[in-house]
Amino acid sequence: MSQNLNGALRVLVAEDEPYNLRRLARLLREQGCEVVAELEDGPAVLEWLDQGGAADALFLDIQMPGLSGLEVASEAPRGLPIVFVTAFSEHAVRAFEQAAADYLLKPVTAERLARTLERLRERREAAPAPARPQGPFRYAVRAGEGLVFLDLARTTHFTYEEEAVWAHAGGRFRTLWKTLSEAEAALEGRGLVRGHRHLLLRPEAVVGVRPGDSGRLWVRLPGDVEVEVSRGAAPGLKQRLGLA
């Protein structure tokens, strides 16, 4: 059946069982979606996103090699709707703790999928423009057995390393956030930009840029620090810097 993909939901499907992958992709196309990628494991999803892949929603099998769907969701860009697909209902609680847009049990039926897609379309149409908070902002970092507070205005970037989020503000400080998605939620509207799945940048801190390979961008920060921005994130950062 031929579909008009104008305004269609763009979706990624990740599933390690080829038959289930093909079946779900077919059902999505039959309901008017544009399937932009069909992948078979968690690391491939994060790599696809890191390389600039864009979608309106991710359909993720929970049990996949390398990284589970839940682990992928914790590293995916904040605000990207995720639908978990699994044969096991016991994962539902954890899925909704990850703010899942929906939770589908296998075998997925066309009728149940239609309800999910209706919710995703309504969510896309109703999404408001985020308000930008005003005024200074401070956040806590660990200092010995206690905490100190750092000014966001003095922070250049945040990185995810060693299973923690680190703030770079004239030094490297361990924050209380466990993932960059948590950091993004706390800093929402503060103007930070994802450089790649392990990097958040404050554009006002950028002091220089130079082109990298394959559309990537090298960004210079105070203290003679350089970080690489992915091909997918480079256009957005250039726009924020007035270069596009």
- Taking Cα atoms as reference points, which of 228, 239, 174 lies closest to residue 203? 239
Q: Output the average pLDDT for the chain.
A: 88
The residue ranges of every structural domain in the chain are 10-126, 146-240
Tell me the CA distances in angstroms from 138 to 109, 206, 216, one per residue in order. 48, 20, 31
CATH superfamily, domain 10-126, is Response regulator (3.40.50.2300)
Around 219, how many Cα atoms within 13 Å sit in the side-chain half-sphere? 28
Structure-block tokens of residue 58: 């991710």
E-only strand ranges, the chain = 10-14, 34-39, 57-61, 82-86, 102-105, 138-143, 146-151, 157-161, 164-168, 172-174, 193-196, 199-201, 208-211, 217-221, 225-229
At 130-149, the pLDDT tens digits run 555 666 789 999 999 999 99
Which residues on adjacent β-strands are paired with residue 12?
37, 58
Q: What's residue 91's pLDDT?
A: 60
pLDDT tens figures, 47-100? 888 777 889 999 999 999 998 888 888 888 778 899 999 887 776 666 666 668
Do residues 237 and 193 touch, judged by C-beta distance below 8 A? yes
Averaged over 210-229, what is the pLDDT? 93
CATH 2.40.50.1020 fits 146-240, yes or no: yes
Model's pTM, two decimal places?
0.64
